[in-house]
A and B are shown apart, each in its own frame.
Chain A
Amino acid sequence: MTMPCPECDAAVPLDERTVVGEVVPCPDCGADLEVTALQPPVLVLAPPEEEDWGE
C-alpha cells in the first residue's frame, strides 16, 4: 500500500505492520511523516521531537 506524501505527493509505502505514531520517511522529499490513523491511513508532517535532558 502507498499513501501520498502531504508535502510532495510522492507515493509513500506502508505495510500491514505499520502502527499509529510510527514515523515514515518520504522516499522522494525525505520529509518525516507521522502515521496518525490507519483505517484509512493518514500521513501528516511529523511534529518536532520532544526534548529531554540527560543521556
Chain B
Amino acid sequence: MTAAVTLALDPLTLLDELLRIPSVTGDTDAAATRLLHRAREAGYHAQRDGAGNLVMIWGDGPIEDEIVLLGHLDTVPGHIEVREQDGRLHGRGAVDAKGPLAAALAAVSRLPRPIGRRITVIAACDEEGPSLGARYLRDRKPPSHLIVLEPSGWDTVTTGYRGCVRLTATVTRQSAHHAGPHAGAADRLVAGLAELQRSLPTGGERAVDRVQVRVNTLRSNDNGTVEHAVAGIELRMPMGVAVEDIAARVAALMKEARVQVESACDAVAVSRGNAVARALARGVAASGGRPRYTSKTGTSDLNVVLPRWGCDAAVYGPGDCSLDHTPHESIDIDELRRGADVLETALRSLSSGASREFGPGAPAQRGAGS
C-alpha cells in the first residue's frame, strides 16, 4: 500500500482563518463550509452529517477501533476583532473552542496514512446551545476512544463536569389591586426563588461537589385579568445528584410555581487512569510538562455522549478557559502549538496500542443518560 502524501495543517493559520468567519450557534454554515474544504485539502475525508456536524475522517481502520476527537465550531455571540498581539491570537472562539479544534486538526494531519486506525475529528454544532449536534452523534456507533476538545491549558487533562438542568418556573395568579393584601405572581415567584437559593446549594467544600442555583432570566406581566411571572433557572449538580431528583426538589420548594424542565444532562466523570487520559499525560510529558488534572463546574458535550458511548475518554485543549465567553477571548500562540504537539503524541500512543497494555481503564463513574 502506498502512503498518502499531504501537507500538514498549521494550527495558527487554520485558527486565524476560522476566527475570521463568525459562527455563532445556529449560524455555522459558512465556517463549516470553509473548514470542510480545508480538511479535504489536508487529506481528510470530510462531510456534514444530518445535524450539521462536520465529520472529518483520517485513516481507514475499522470503525470499532475508532478514535474520535469531538470539538465544536459554534461560539457564543460577541464580536472580537481578530488580531495577533503580544504572542496571542484574539477572536471569538479562540479558546472556546476553535483553538482546541484547530490544534486537533493540525495534530491529526501530521499522522501518517495509513495508520491502521480510524481517527475522526468532529466539529459539532450547537454545543453552546442545547447540544443538538452531540445529541445526534450519541446514537452513532461508539468509538473505542474519545477526546473532547475544550480548553483547560496545554498541560491539563479534564476528567469531569457537573451536570446541568435548565428549567422554567411560572407563577400565575388572578389580577388584583396592587394595594391589596395578597402577594402578586412576581412576589410569589421571587419568594420561591429565595427558598430555592437558600435550600438547594448543598454538597462538599469544592464547587464541583456542590449544587449551584442561578436565576438566568426573570419577567412578569399583568394584562389586567391574569398575572404571569416566569423565571429561567439553571441548576448545576455534582456526581450523585440525578436530574429527576433535583427537578423534583425544585417543584417541592416552589409549590406555587409550575416547573418545567427545558434541558438536562447528568454529571460525568472518568478515571484519570483510563487509556485516553494516560495517553494525554504522556503527550504533556513529551512536551516538557507535568500533567495536571481538573474537574469543571460547567458542562460540555462529554456529558451528552459519554453516558451512551461508555468508552475511554478525557477532555483536552490548549487555552485559558477563564477567557471563555468573555470579551477578552484570546489564546497564547505557543500554547496553541504545544497543544497540537500534545495531541499528536497522545494519538500516536493510542494508535500504537501501547496504552492498551494497561488494561481497560474504564470510566470510574458516570451519570445516567440525559
Contacts and interface: CB of A to CB of B under 8 A. Distances in A.
B207 to A, nearest CB: 6
A21 B288 CA distance: 12
B354 A23 contact: no
A25 B293 CA distance: 15
Nearest to A25: B273
B291 interface: yes
Interface stretch (B14-22, B45-53, B108-116, B357-365): B357-365
Nearest to A30: B364
Interface in B248-296: 271-274, 277-278, 281-282, 284-286, 290-296
B293 A53 contact: no
Contacts of B285: 19-22
B349 interface: yes
Interface residues of A, number: 23
A51 B281 contact: no
B296 A19 contact: no
B282 A22 contact: yes
A17 B96 CA distance: 31
Nearest to A14: B358
Contacts of A19: 281-282, 284-286, 291
Contacts of A17: 282, 349, 354
Interface string A18-53: 011111110100101100000000000010111111
B349 A51 contact: no
A25 B152 CA distance: 23
The prevalent SS among residues of A at the interface is loop
A28 B325 CA distance: 43
B281 A53 contact: no
A24 B359 CA distance: 10
Contacts of B159: 49
Given A21-B284, A22-B278, A49 B293 contact: yes
B122 to A, nearest CB: 16
Nearest to B72: A55
A4 interface: no
Contacts of B322: 52-54
B97 interface: yes
B296 A51 contact: yes
Nearest to B285: A19
Interface string B323-364: 011000000000000000000000001000010011101001
6 contacts: A19-B281, A21-B291, A25-B359, A51-B296, A54-B297, A55-B300
Interface of A: 13, 15, 17, 19-25, 27, 30, 32-33, 46, 48-55
Given A23-B271, A25-B359, A54-B296, 12 more contacts: A23-B273, A23-B293, A32-B364, A49-B160, A49-B295, A50-B294, A52-B294, A52-B297, A53-B322, A54-B324, A55-B300, A55-B324
Interface of B: 96-97, 127, 150-152, 156, 158-161, 206-208, 271-274, 277-278, 281-282, 284-286, 290-300, 321-322, 324-325, 349, 354, 357-359, 361, 364
